[in-house]
C-alpha cells in the first residue's frame, strides 16, 4: 500500500480525486489497488485504449460502478469541461478518480473551473520514509543511491536494467509527453539541455550559461526548464532571502525526481536524494493539510550557504545541511541557525557513525532523520 492510499480513500467520499506525478511513478497501480480493495464494483477506463476511449466519450458505464477511474484523461483536449459535467450530474452515484501527469498539474493554476470539486494528490517515488515491506532501511538507501526510487527499477534492483528503463522513460517523456503538451520542435536539443542539468545537480543554474552552451536564447532555455518541471522530470529550489539583508537574488538549484537521473558523484546523488525526499514530504503535507510549504536554499554575499530551508506559510521552520561524509558542523549552518533561530537545524550526513548534538544543531544520518517524517511539524 502506497503512502497516499488512506488519504485518497478518505477524500473519495466527498469529492473527485486527481492523482498527479511523474510518468511511471505508480499512479495507475495505486488507482487499481484502491479499486480492487475498496471498490470491487468500480471500473477503470484508460483513454489510450480504443474501447475505453469510446466509452468515455459516450459516458458509457453502469450505475453500479461505485468508482470510476479515468486514466490518461488529460490527453482528451476537452477533458476539463467533460469531467466537470460528469461530476456535477453523477457525483452522488459514483466516486470519481482521475490520474495523469503534467496536464493535471497545469490546470490546478488560476481560473480553474473545477475548483471546489476535487482534491489533488502528488505521488512521488519510493524514499527513505516509504520503504516496501521486506527491505531494510540500509538496503533501501543503497538502492535509492544506485537505481533510484521509481517502483520498477527500485524493486528490480538491477543497475543495467535500470539504465535501460531510464533511457526509455526519457524518450517517452520527451518524444510523447512534451510533443503532445508543449510547442517544442527541437526535441533532440531539449534532450541535450536535460543532460546538462543532470551534470549540474546541486549547483546554481544560470540559464544564460546553459543557453550559450547550446546556442539557444536565454528565453528558450528558461521556457525549457519550466517545461521539464511541468513534466515532473526536475524541480527547482530557489533562494530564501526574507530577513537576510546580506542575501542576494541567486539562480535556482535544479534536482531530479528520479535520483538515478543524476550524473554527478555520490555527494551530488545524496544531495538529490535528500532534496527529493524533502519535496515529497512537503507535497504530502501541503496536499493533506492545505498549508503552503516551500523548499528553499540560503546563500549570502559572503558565500555562506545552507542547502535547504523549509518554510511553512512564509515562516522558516527548519534549516538542513547535507554532507556525504563530513561530520563537522557546517559553519554556515551554525551561523544561520544562530541568526535566524529556526525551530530545527539539522546536518544530515550519509556516512555518519554516531549522531550527536551541538547547541541547537543535530547531526544525524538520513535513515534516522526521515523515519516517520510524513507527520507535520
Distance (Å, whole) CA 235 – CA 213:
21
- Domain range annotation of the chain: 5-122, 137-370
Distance (Å, whole) CA 196 – CA 191:
9
pTM: 0.92
CA-based nearest residue to 122, from 199, 267, 20: 20
Q: The dihedral of CA 368, 373, 375, 377: what is its sign?
A: positive
pLDDT at 373: 53
Grid look-up 477503470 returns 44
CA-based nearest residue to 241, from 299, 195, 295, 193: 299
- Tens of each residue's pLDDT in the chain, 377 residues: 899 999 999 999 999 999 999 999 999 999 999 999 999 999 999 998 999 999 999 999 999 999 999 998 988 888 988 999 999 999 899 999 999 876 675 545 545 678 789 999 999 999 999 999 999 999 999 999 999 999 999 999 999 999 999 999 988 888 887 877 677 778 888 999 999 999 999 999 999 999 999 999 999 999 999 989 988 999 999 999 876 655 556 789 999 999 999 998 999 999 999 999 999 999 999 999 999 999 999 998 888 999 999 999 999 999 999 999 999 999 999 999 999 999 999 999 998 989 999 999 999 999 999 985 544 34
Strands in 356-358's sheet, in edge-to-edge order, are: 253-256, 234-239, 293-299, 305-312, 315-323, 344-349, 361-364, 356-358
Of the chain, the end-to-end C-alpha distance in Å amounts to 24
110, with CB counted inside 10 A (0-12, 13-18, 19+), is exposed
In angstroms, what CA-CA distances link 286 with 13, 206, 226, 294, 347? Answer: 20, 29, 21, 9, 24
Distance (Å, whole) CA 335 – CA 345:
11
CB atoms within 10 A of CB 354: 7
CATH 3.40.50.300 corresponds to the domain 5-122: yes
List, in sequence order, the alpha helices (H) in the chain.
5-12, 27-38, 50-57, 79-90, 102-106, 137-146, 151-156, 159-172, 178-181, 187-198, 207-214, 218-230, 266-289, 331-340, 366-370
Amino acid at each position: 500500500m502506497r503512502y497516499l492510499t488512506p488519504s485518497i480513500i478518505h477524500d473519495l467520499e466527498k469529492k473527485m480525486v486527481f492523482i498527479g506525478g511523474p510518468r511511471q511513478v505508480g499512479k495507475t497501480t495505486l488507482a487499481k489497488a484502491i479499486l480492487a480493495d475498496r471498490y470491487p464494483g468500480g471500473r477503470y477506463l484508460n483513454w489510450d485504449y480504443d474501447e475505453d476511449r469510446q466509452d468515455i466519450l459516450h459516458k458509457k458505464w453502469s450505475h453500479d460502478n461505485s468508482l470510476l477511474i479515468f486514466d490518461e484523461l488529460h490527453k482528451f483536449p476537452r477533458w476539463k469541461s467533460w469531467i466537470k459535467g460528469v461530476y456535477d450530474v453523477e457525483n452522488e452515484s459514483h466516486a470519481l478518480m482521475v490520474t495523469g501527469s503534467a496536464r493535471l498539474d497545469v490546470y490546478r493554476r488560476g481560473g480553474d473551473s473545477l475548483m471546489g470539486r476535487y482534491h489533488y494528490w502528488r505521488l512521488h517515488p519510493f524514499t527513505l520514509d516509504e520503504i516496501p515491506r521486506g527491505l531494510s532501511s540500509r538496503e533501501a538507501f543503497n538502492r535509492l543511491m544506485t537505481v533510484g526510487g521509481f517502483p520498477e527499477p527500485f524493486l528490480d534492483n538491477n543497475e543495467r536494467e535500470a539504465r535501460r528503463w531510464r533511457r526509455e522513460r526519457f524518450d517517452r517523456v520527451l518524444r510523447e509527453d512534451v510533443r503532445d503538451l508543449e510547442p517544442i520542435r527541437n526535441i533532440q536539443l531539449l534532450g541535450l539541455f536535460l543532460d546538462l542539468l543532470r551534470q549540474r545537480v546541486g549547483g546554481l543554474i544560470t540559464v544564460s550559461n546553459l543557453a550559450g552552451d547550446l546556442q539557444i536564447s536565454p528565453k528558450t532555455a528558461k521556457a525549457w526548464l519550466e517545461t521539464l518541471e511541468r513534466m515532473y522530470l526536475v524541480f527547482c529550489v530557489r533562494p530564501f532571502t526574507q530577513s537576510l539583508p546580506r542575501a542576494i537574488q541567486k539562480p535556482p538549484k535544479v534536482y531530479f525526481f528520479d535520483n538515478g537521473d543524476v550524473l554527478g558523484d555520490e555527494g551530488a546523488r545524496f544531495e538529490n536524494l535528500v532534496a527529493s525526499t524533502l519535496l515529497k514530504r512537503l507535497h504530502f503535507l501541503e496536499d493533506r493539510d492545505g498549508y503552503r510549504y516551500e523548499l528553499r536554499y540560503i546563500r549570502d554575499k559572503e558565500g555562506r550557504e545552507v542547502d535547504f530551508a523549509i518554510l511553512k506559510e512564509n515562516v522558516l521552520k527548519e534549516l538542513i545541511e547535507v554532507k556525504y561524509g563530513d561530520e563537522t558542523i557546517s559553519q554556515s549552518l551554525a551561523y544561520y541557525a544562530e541568526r535566524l533561530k529556526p525551530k530545527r537545524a539539522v546536518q544530515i550526513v550519509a556516512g555518519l557513525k554516531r549522531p550527536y548534538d551541538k547547541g541547537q544543531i543535530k547531526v544525524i544520518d538520513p535513515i534516522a532523520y526521515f523515519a516517520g517524517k510524513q507527520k507535520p511539524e
